[in-house]
Structure 1
Amino acid sequence: MDAPAPHHPPPARRLVLTFPGQGAQHARMAAGLYGACQSFTATMDRAFDLLPGGSALREGWLADTPPARFDDITYAQPLLYAVDFALGTMLTEAGLRPDVLLGHSVGELAAATLAGVFTFDDGLRYLSQYVGVYRHAPPGGMLAVAAGPDEVDAHLVPGVVIGAVNAPRQVLLSAPEPALTEVETALRRAGLTCARARAAQPFHHPVMRDVAAAHADALTRPPLKAPHTTLYSARTGRELDDGTATDWRFWLGQPAEPVLFGPALRRLLSGGPHVLVEAGPGQSLTSLARRTPEVARGDSAAVALLPARAGAPGADVAAVRAALERLATLHGVPSAPSPHS
């Protein structure tokens, strides 16, 4: 009689927090947690205390109808950074200890802050200066295209670059105007599906390098430390080594370089099973993750912490509770903490 095959328990899934960037912002993003969760509220209040015009930012964030310039760098970037970090802090303080952190665009700054590369105060000061510099960028934006880099190459016009590769058939084009409108028209005529991202500046475009060079003296360089948690970079598409994480040239150059979130996510998931938690507004990164083979076949899992858009009162708290209950059932994740902690 043959001996029974040895039983090998499935490998534990590593916990990954992902942080969205420009384009994920929306009216009252995560605002339902403000006043309902002590940790989240304290972090947001700290941000509003330190950011220039913090009272106006708070008012615009909590308004049912956001200000006309809500998608501009002056609103979107500070709020996204603060909300991403506040959500990450809420989870870690409640007992969820991430093994890996991965952010998209300004979400990478939030991930690095949670990993200890910056302090939150230093990150807020840097971002304030960053906003002051990059508001000088020419009017433009980004265009999401349901196609791969090779498919869009033939339609690019001068001044338009691939600003982000989010998935095998999901890229973001970046350009000042009128080049962005010109390429959008060409892509639609070619039958490609595209939509404007919520950005008023051409992020991850070489023009940002010129803007930074012209205003370099306005950017200070607070101390940097090696990350205490594994940090994957959507700029490099791989794990961030200590030397790069503590090199200010890397962070100062980020707005001019393409985002490689898709390659970074594929490399991360190739290393074994993971639980991906989107600690930010919306569900864009969760949607990208669910399209990967590893998540589609169930080896890894993807969980969004918040609804896709702001809903009825209590919707954010209910979504967090539901997400934490699901996480409590997934292999390798501790019991769900309370969002009120």
Structure 2
Amino acid sequence: MSARLAFLFPGQGSYVPGLFGQLAGRCPVVADTLSAVDAAVARLGHEPVSPVLLSSGAPSLQQLAGAEPTTLHLAIFTASVVTYRLLTECGVRPDVLLGHSFGDLIALTVSGAWSLDDGVRLVVLGDEALRRSAKARGGMVALDCGARRARALLAAVGERHLGIAADNSPGQVVVSGPHAELEHLSRVAGAFGVSATRLRVPHPFHNAVLAGTAKKFATDATVIARRAPRLRVYSSILGRYVTGPADVDRIVTGHLTMPVRFLDAVRQVQADGVGEFVECGPKGTLTRLVAGTLPGVVVTAPLLRRTDWETWSAGLRAVSARKGADA
């Protein structure tokens, strides 16, 4: 029996300025998808997102996170959708889609749970809710330790608004909360020999402090109809496969406050036969986590950085060859 293939959809931080600048002229699907997203964004009264994905002189991750978070989130969303379409147009088909954090919404979009236009609208509605919320001020810190040690550190710190936002791997947990409490946690973690890295994100995602914001977003998002996905989706937020519209609704309403269980998710899909993971987005953050968690699986990140046609094609041929050998 051949190994199954999972597409990974990253969330916060998965942005490279001008990611598609060297591919747009060779791949019509890039230009077509960027145009479709720009049209959807324009109907919502926002500036187009394509310039930050086509120009290498576009603002950095840090600049967008601080000044234009909606543009950043639209860029992350669009980059993953474009990568998914590039892969599938070339015949690389996933057996399961697996998102991380915000990536759950992207996975649901390409699965057909709603249209591309509605996916764009969800991104904008979420950012509008966050922008209006005083509770949305804060951030996230990655700790180089497992969940058990992270919980012990949180108990030692005693800050009531901190919480584990993502259990990513045996050696990485992300904590979210207010800035001052995260600074306290970082100092305590350092004293215990645990490295703490502030992430370039504009809000304390996956934290109960956003409960009011999540409720407002959920109300605004009721205008978007949910359908059962046409492709198999494993949600790292729900901790199981998505079975119908009710599950899609739970992800939409809970993704700002519910923790991400990525470690459990990759272990489960591996147990279900997945032996290869391909990242639909830049940087390769998720494939590095998977490689460190599941020795022996094959991981591919075809868009680690701005890539020309030849490099992209070589990576694609490698994935296609493995699937052909397994078939």
Cα displacement (A) at 1:273: 4.3
Question: Which residue in the other structure is 2:79 paired with?
Answer: 83
Distance in 2, matches of 1:167 and 1:292, equals 6
Distance in 2, matches of 1:264 and 1:333, equals 26
Cα displacement (A) at 1:29: 3.1
Question: Which residue in the other structure is 1:26 paired with?
Answer: 16
SS at match of 1:255: coil
Identity %: 29
Matched-pair contact (CA < 8 Å) for 1:47–1:54? no
Runs of at least 5 residues in structure 1 that lack an aligned partner in the other structure: 1-10, 336-341
Runs of at least 5 residues in structure 2 that lack an aligned partner in the other structure: none
Larger helix percent: 2
Question: Which residue in the other structure is 1:231 paired with?
Answer: 233
Distance in 2, matches of 1:113 and 1:261, equals 19
Question: Which residue in the other structure is 2:93 paired with?
Answer: 97
Cα displacement string for residues 69-120 of structure 1 (whole angstroms, at most 9, x for unaligned residues): 4125322211111111111122112222211111111211111111111111
Pair 1:243–1:49, CA change in 2 (3 A): closer
Give RMSD over aligned pairs.
2.2
Provide the TM-score with structure 1 as the length reference. 0.85
Question: Which residue in the other structure is 2:29 paired with?
Answer: 39
1:306 counterpart = 2:306: no
1:70 counterpart = 2:67: no
Cα displacement string for residues 111-167 of structure 1 (whole angstroms, at most 9, x for unaligned residues): 111111111111111221111112234321111111011112222222110000111
Q: Quick check: 70-79 or 107-116, which moved more?
A: 70-79
Bigger Rg, structure 1 or 2: 1
Cα displacement (A) at 1:256: 0.8
Provide the TM-score with structure 2 as the length reference. 0.88
Distance in 2, matches of 1:70 and 1:263, equals 31
- Structure 1 runs (4+) deviating above 4 angstroms are 214-217, 332-335
Question: Which residue in the other structure is 2:164 paired with?
Answer: 162
Question: Which residue in the other structure is 1:266 paired with?
Answer: 267
Cα displacement string for residues 35-92 of structure 1 (whole angstroms, at most 9, x for unaligned residues): 3311022111211221146545333443525166412532221111111111112211
Give the count of matched residue pairs. Answer: 315
Cα displacement (A) at 1:332: 4.5
Pair 1:94–1:53, CA change in 2 (3 A): farther
Matched-pair contact (CA < 8 Å) for 1:235–1:259? yes
Distance in 2, matches of 1:53 and 1:222, equals 18
Pair 1:331–1:215, CA change in 2 (3 A): closer
SS at match of 1:127: helix
Question: Which residue in the other structure is 2:194 paired with?
Answer: 192
